[in-house]
Amino acid sequence: MPKMYLPVAGAALLLLSCGNNKKGGQDQANGAKDYAVISLAPIKATIHYDYPATIQGQQVIEIRPKIDGYVKEIYVNEGANVKKGQLLFTINNPEYEQNVVTARAAIKSAVADVNAAQMDVNKVRPLVEKDIVSKYQLESAQYTLEAKQAALAQAQATLANAQTNLGYTIIKAPADGVIGTIPYKIGALVSSTSTEALTTLSNIGNVYAYFSLNEKQLLDFSEEMPGNTLEEKVKHLPEVTMVLANGSEYSLKGKIETASGLIATATGTAQFKASFPNPMGLIKSGASAIIRIPRSEDSALVIPQGATYELQDKRFAYIVTKDNYTISQAIKTTANDNGQFFIVKSGLKAGDKVVLEGASTLRDSTLIKPRTVSADSLYQKID
């Protein structure tokens, strides 16, 4: 009899054990937290590439004195808008005024000498014609006249040079623009060899933003853009955006015009230039900015930036297994141009389920309750 009941007892114990295991699994699943999840699918998106840039005006002219002297007058203020030909400075040096006076006096003397020599020629010529004096006297008088005429020409050149130097004491604007800082004050001694310029004149009707690409970026650019030469590839670039120092975007778009075909050995970079209209003069020469170059992708995997986290300079996202467990996955990304999403370059594939929130608090092998979020509602925020 006991032998008959042993199998029955064993079966009862087995059933009880299985029931307890099933109940424990249900309790574990019931304790799992709810997380929003999205299934990745390729969409059309825009990537932007940001490059630090320095701004220069269309023209940046250093205003320097060409002569030595003291600053006599300053007719403009720092930051003033000036027109071409407008008076900026006067330099005081009596030497140049005296040189003009001396040169004019020398001309008067030379004119008198020429007139006297001409009178000698006029006096000797009829005597030679009448064979009263030798013809050599006429030739001598003519040579003297030519020498006096040359001396007059030299005196006139000296006057012109003195007047030119005197003109350098008056400094006018060579073009329209904005006056920069003025380091010298009235009475300061200046010269053509002074370290600092009197000021700078910037024409900022258009501004240029200079930025650089390293060798790898330049190679990637050359591979991605159509065209046989670098100049042809630049022409295919879209309009670019300037991000100002306060983080706002400049309202007018720019165009990349030229590019250096050489990589500077000192920096390992090639320089590019983008031109922006600046009709209101908002962008100042010497400012810093960021040049943002957009590029569209027809088939990109996109996730919100909040679905990722950084660890030791690497970026990760959590994917969900078939059994609803989380696994951290290293990914490489680039930012979307609205600053809210990452475009995944590697590490994820279409169909992967990614946890949308709480990535910084999750751990590997965490059982979750996935709550699928509509991709359309998420991606409609993307340009």
In this predicted structure, the answer to whether residue 5 has a pLDDT above a threshold of 70 is no
Bridge pairing between strands 368-372 and 269-277: unpaired
Higher pLDDT among residues 27 and 230, named by residue? 230
- Contact call for residues 98 and 153 (beta carbons, < 8 A): no
Give the Cα separation of 67 and 193 in Å (integer): 9
DSSP 173: -
Give the Cα separation of 297 and 312 in Å (integer): 29
Tens digits of residue pLDDT in 38-81: 999 898 877 778 899 999 988 889 999 998 999 999 999 998 98
Closest residue by Cα to residue 302 from 46, 48, 49: 46
Bridge pairing between strands 314-320 and 368-372: unpaired
In this predicted structure, the answer to whether residue 17 has a pLDDT above a threshold of 50 is no
- Give 162's pLDDT tier (boundaries 50, 70, 90): very high
Which three-class secondary structure state does DSSP give residue 146?
helix
Do you know the residue count of the chain?
A: 383
Residue percentage of the chain with pLDDT more than 70? 89
Scanning the structure block, which residue is given the tokens 């010529």?
125
Per-state percent for the chain, helix, strand, coil, to nearest 5: 30, 35, 30
Give the Cα separation of 103 and 163 in Å (integer): 9
The reported pLDDT for the residue numbered 18 is 46
The reported pLDDT for the residue numbered 24 is 44
Query: Which strands sit side by side in the sheet containing 87-92, from one edge to the other?
Result: 170-172, 87-92, 69-74, 189-190
Tens digits of residue pLDDT in 79-122: 898 999 999 999 998 888 999 999 999 999 999 999 998 998 88
DSSP 367: B
Give pTM, 2 decimals: 0.58
In this predicted structure, the answer to whether residue 1 has a pLDDT above a threshold of 50 is no
Cα angle: 43, vertex 49, 50; to 5 degrees: 145
The reported pLDDT for the residue numbered 83 is 93
Higher pLDDT among residues 306 and 321, named by residue? 321
- Contact call for residues 104 and 117 (beta carbons, < 8 A): no
The reported pLDDT for the residue numbered 29 is 53
Tens digits of residue pLDDT in 240-275: 999 999 989 999 999 998 777 678 777 888 889 999
Token digits for 90?
């006067």
Give the Cα separation of 23 and 383 in Å (integer): 48
CA distances from 194 to 62, 182, 198, 326 (A): 12, 13, 9, 69
Q: What is the mean pLDDT of residues 301-324?
A: 90
Tens digits of residue pLDDT in 123-141: 888 887 877 777 888 888 8
Domains belonging to the chain, first-starting first, are 34-45+298-380 (2.40.420.20), 50-57+204-297 (2.40.30.170), 94-169 (1.10.287.470)
Q: pLDDT averaged over the chain?
A: 84
In this predicted structure, the answer to whether residue 147 has a pLDDT above a threshold of 80 is yes
Q: Which amino acid is at 205?
A: G
Higher pLDDT among residues 3 and 330, named by residue? 330
